[in-house]
Amino acid sequence: MKYFFLSDNILIMTSSLKNKSALVAGGSGGIGREVSLALARAGTNLTVHGSQKSDKTCSLASEIAGLCGIAPKIITQNLLESSFSGLENSELLEAARKTDILCVSFGPFVQKPLHETNISDWEKVSLYDYALPGFLVSSALPNMMKNHFGRILLFGGTGTSYRTEFSTNAAYAGAKSALNVLVSSVAANYAQYGITCNAICPGFVETEYLSEEQKDALAKKMPGGKLISAENIAKTALFLLENAGINGEVLRMDGGWSPFKS
């Protein structure tokens, strides 16, 4: 890929994704925000989903417009405050049905030992860490099949690229681990339509959602003693999305983290 500038410092990238439609669910903050920026630089026609219209979403739209000259479409829907069945007639689902590129970086984290995990916790992780990305994938596939092009990228959890035990977040990790089956199933059955599906399982990532105290504590758990940058995750995300030959990959980006050494 190559970069060049137009007037007013507008950045354009030549990319195989240029002019493709892209949807980032959970794209207004954290890893999703950096993925949105990367896709904007790649020249996609971008739609970004966030929980609510806020200074954060407005700031992202302005930054993307400054980089590329075109503001993204912003969809706001607080998924956790509406019923899951409400997705059926939502703007988010409509966007998923029309998109060429689908990235899902939304997913609530639940950290509790199993004997304290209640029905609300189980419902939350089951619906929003597994069923939501699954439903968006199912909704996006028909249009991708028709166009013989599709790129899907999901985000697992730390340590969920393989089966193992978890002490304080087994419910969440179980839902995120299930995404591996979804990735493999899409890759195996839809490659003939020019569709790829991959996932990234990040380690502990530095985002605005962490306090300084949390950052320090999590950095100590990482083998290199520092958190992974969201920008680095986004660069890898773009690499996977641009490469048609990478399909069915569940990629660890955790610096070699192991739950047995935390």
Structure confidence by residue, pLDDT tens digits, 43-85: 999 999 988 777 788 888 888 888 888 889 999 999 998 889 8
d(CA 245, CA 180): 18
User: Is pLDDT of 165 > 90?
Assistant: no
This prediction's pTM: 0.90
Q: Averaged over 92-97, what is the pLDDT?
A: 97
Span of 20-24, 104-108, 251-255 with lowest mean pLDDT: 251-255
pLDDT of 3 reads 47
pLDDT of 57 reads 83
User: Is pLDDT of 94 > 90?
Assistant: yes
pLDDT of 83 reads 86
CA distances (Å), 212 to each of 80, 110, 168, 204, in order? Answer: 26, 20, 22, 13
Residue with token string 């697992």: 156
- E strand residue ranges, the chain: 2-5, 11-14, 21-25, 45-50, 73-76, 101-104, 150-155, 195-202, 205-206, 228-229, 250-253
- For the chain, the residue count is 262
* Residue-wise pLDDT tens digits, 196-218: 999 999 988 878 888 899 889 88
